[in-house]
Amino acid sequence: MKTIGGIIDELSKKKGIFSEIKVRTIFSRWESVVGSLLAEKTKPVSLNRGVLTVWCSESIWASELKFYTKDILTKMKEQLQDVRDIRSIKIVYKE
């Protein structure tokens, strides 16, 4: 016999609720992870299979983000307990 908690876990995984919660957590806490200046110039846009895609307003900010990727991933794992499965950051920007 399944427990109520087990049923809820099963349903939420099927519906992608946990994934959506992770994405919203990242979006809402982005400034606290990267700092206010970088947060003004960058924006997380999606999370797919452990890859966080982040939009940058200019190439200089893409370079800055790339330089700090390891630190950002570490900080996310420390601050965002539910988002430990991010392996890398994909940076996109329009020239």
CA distance 40 to 15: 32
CATH architecture under which domain 4-93 falls: 2-Layer Sandwich (3.30)
Q: What is the pLDDT of residue 25?
A: 80
Domain ranges of the chain: 4-93
Tokens 């990267």 correspond to: 34
Q: How confident is the model at residue 76 (pLDDT cuts 50, 70, 90)?
A: confident
Q: What are the phi and psi torsion angles at 19 (to 5°)? A: -60, -45
Q: Decide which of 12 and 74 is more confident.
A: 74
Q: Decide which of 81 and 36 is more confident.
A: 36
Q: Which tokens sit at 18?
A: 């946990």
Q: What are the phi and psi torsion angles at 81 (to 5°)? A: -55, -30
Convert the pLDDT of each residue in 13-42 to its tens digit: 655 666 677 777 888 889 999 999 999 999
Taking the model in full, what pTM does it have?
A: 0.75
Per-residue pLDDT for 89 more than 70? yes
CA distance 47 to 24: 10
Mean pLDDT computed over every residue of the chain: 83
